[in-house]
Chains A and B, each alone.
Chain A
Amino acid sequence: MVEHRPWNDIIAYAILTFGVFIVAFPVYLAMIASTHDAVTVIGGNMPLLPGGHTLENYYRAIFVGGSHASREPVGHLLLNSFISATGIAVGKIFISILSAYAVVYFRFPFRKAAFWIIFVTLMLPVEVRIYPTYKVVSDLHMLDTYAGLILPLIASATGTLLFRQFFMTVPDELLEASRIDGAGPFRFFWDTLLPLSVTTIAALFVIQFIYGWNQYLWPLLITTQDSMQTIVTGIKKMLTTTDELAEWQLAMATAVLAMLPPVAVVVFMQRLFVRGLVETEK
């Protein structure tokens, strides 16, 4: 800092603490609600300190589900979310590293065209073409399948652009050197380019995992069976009960469970997360 003024630091600490409080309070409240019984939560006078029903609530949410027979235990929804988020992240990395390799390291007719065909997809999120995409998925008999949850969401250009950008920074001498050593396109990719790309791959994985985990509209639309829902779509269904009071304590336990994996990813892989976020937006 240019000049040091003690009160300046105090104001900064005060504002930031206030910010952290705003950011944390809704989540704190959800955690508290997940430790009380239904009556305490619904009564409207929930204490701001944890109650004694933590294990019971989480046990019921994870293994039993809501009180309805049709409700799916959250444990299963967590599994669905894990599979689809991982699938989306891995799928995007796989298709985009290959196409970026082709676009950057080969010369062939229609190279520019292929790049632009992929690039345009950057502009239109799945939300603007949901029903036609739904129709395609249903014609391919992929409703209520993991493929249906995953494939339409990996059709995007973010990864290709990121890898293209990274490959451009790799010195040409590396390719020349491996060609002198007699390496073909496969060897160069596997032995040289892939090891260099590890950080980029990890950063992209972190971002895409969070993106996939937090999807809402698409899973909501293409899953008709409760057993194929993801955890994020499942919470809403817990709250839309017509015949009885919503079990908020279970919904909040589910919300906490739904937040844990992506938040853990951000907290424990902060470097990769920040890097991925900044670079995918370039």
Chain B
Amino acid sequence: MEKSAFFNGKLLPYLLLVPQLTITFVFFYWPASQAVRQSFLREDAFGLSSEFIGLENYQALFAQPEYYKAMLTTLVFSTLVAALSLSIALLFATQADKNLKAAPAYKLFMIWPYAVAPAVAGVLWFFMFHPTLGTLARPLRWMGFDWNPLLNGNHALILVVMAAVWKQISYNFLFFLAGLQSIPKSVIEAGAIDGAGPMRRFWTIVFPLLSPTTFFLLVVNVVYVFFDTFGIIDAVTGGGPAGATTTMVYKVYADGRLGGDLGSSAAQSVVLMAIVIALTAIQFRYVERKVQY
């Protein structure tokens, strides 16, 4: 799409672009290229000299059992969060799409957690399920369940997943509701005339028509789990216990900061960049023109 009417400034357009391009180069392209460069270097302990070591950082990275563990954790984490938050949100959205008097109020009640910071969401859930003072941990212990996310890696992962799902429901709800409302009522009426009940209509008409939204949300949710859940993990578990909740992004942070291994951290950044670019490419390739709001 191009405008047919436009200005013919010689200098002005460049001046208008200067602020954004400057910030983009200084805080985006330069650091990103440094990450790529660093991933091929080894720095000495004081950061005074560095030597080119080719792919050694990558080789060392892929020889690390911890890295595969972080990959697996990320995979399990994203699968659980995406599956749970999408299905719960879809359930709520289909109910809110019915012609209820109180639907707008319910909509407002469902969407506000979007505004809660991931780190704050993590703290709230940690408080609820804290092994000694958590209001919801108490009934678990009464039932004889030895709940302790501070020591048990699976419990910690469950807690982080719950907080991440809770935080993401509102976003998915909003987009599912928009998707549902854009489905023409006549299609559903036609199904009803043919004698299909509500469940049958949902699975054979509504759900397939909703698939672009679902696919779009799937990609967005995976990206969300990759990056935005950092705050939740750091607030709830700090990546522990024993690395049970260390995702790939958390490992970039932990290795670079606490371990001080910038070469490995940079190599991990590059791997992550490749994954995100692939995800974004998929999103644009398959989703852009098909999603109807």
A: which residues have CB within 8 A of B?
A: 1-3, 8-9, 11-13, 15-16, 19-20, 22-27, 29-30, 33, 41-46, 48, 94-96, 98-99, 101-108, 111, 114, 117-118, 121-125, 127-133, 135-137, 140, 151-152, 154-155, 160, 168, 172, 175-176, 179, 184-185, 188, 210, 213-217, 220-221, 232-233, 235-236, 239, 248, 251-252, 255, 258-259, 262-263, 265-267, 270, 273-274, 277-278, 281-282
A266 with B112: CB separation less than 8 A: yes
When distances are taken between beta carbons in the complex, the residues of chain B under 8 Å from A184 are 7
- Assuming the contacts A46-B133, A105-B6, A263-B116, asked whether A13 and B100 have C-beta atoms less than 8 A apart, the reply is yes
When distances are taken between beta carbons in the complex, the residues of chain B under 8 Å from A214 are 115-120, 231
- Assuming the contacts A106-B13, A172-B3, asked whether A33 and B23 have C-beta atoms less than 8 A apart, the reply is no
Interface residues on B, range: 35 or more
Q: Which of A8, A114, A217, A277 has the most B CB atoms < 10 Å from its CB? A: A217
Main secondary structure of the interface of B (DSSP, over half): helix
When distances are taken between beta carbons in the complex, the residues of chain B under 8 Å from A102 are 12-14, 16-17
A248 with B127: CB separation less than 8 A: yes
Q: Which of A43, A94, A179 is in CB contact (< 8 Å) with B133?
A: A43
The CA of A123 and the CA of B127, in the complex, are separated in Å by 34
When distances are taken between beta carbons in the complex, the residues of chain A under 8 Å from B28 are 121, 124, 129, 155
A266 with B6: CB separation less than 8 A: no
A15 with B133: CB separation less than 8 A: no
| Interface stretch of the complex, out of B48-56, B147-155, B270-278 | B270-278
The CA of A45 and the CA of B134, in the complex, are separated in Å by 9
A154 with B117: CB separation less than 8 A: no
B: which residues have CB within 8 A of A?
A: 1, 3-10, 12-14, 16-17, 19-21, 23-24, 26-32, 34-35, 38, 88, 91-92, 95-96, 98-100, 102, 106, 108-121, 123-125, 127-128, 132-135, 138, 166, 169-171, 174-175, 178, 185, 188-189, 192, 198, 201, 216, 220, 223, 227, 230-231, 234-235, 249, 252-253, 256-257, 262, 265-266, 269, 272-273, 276-277, 280, 293
A2 with B189: CB separation less than 8 A: yes
Q: Which of B27, B110, B121, B133 is in CB contact (< 8 Å) with A155?
A: B27
Q: Which of A99, A103, A104 has the most B CB atoms < 10 Å from its CB? A: A99
A127 with B230: CB separation less than 8 A: yes
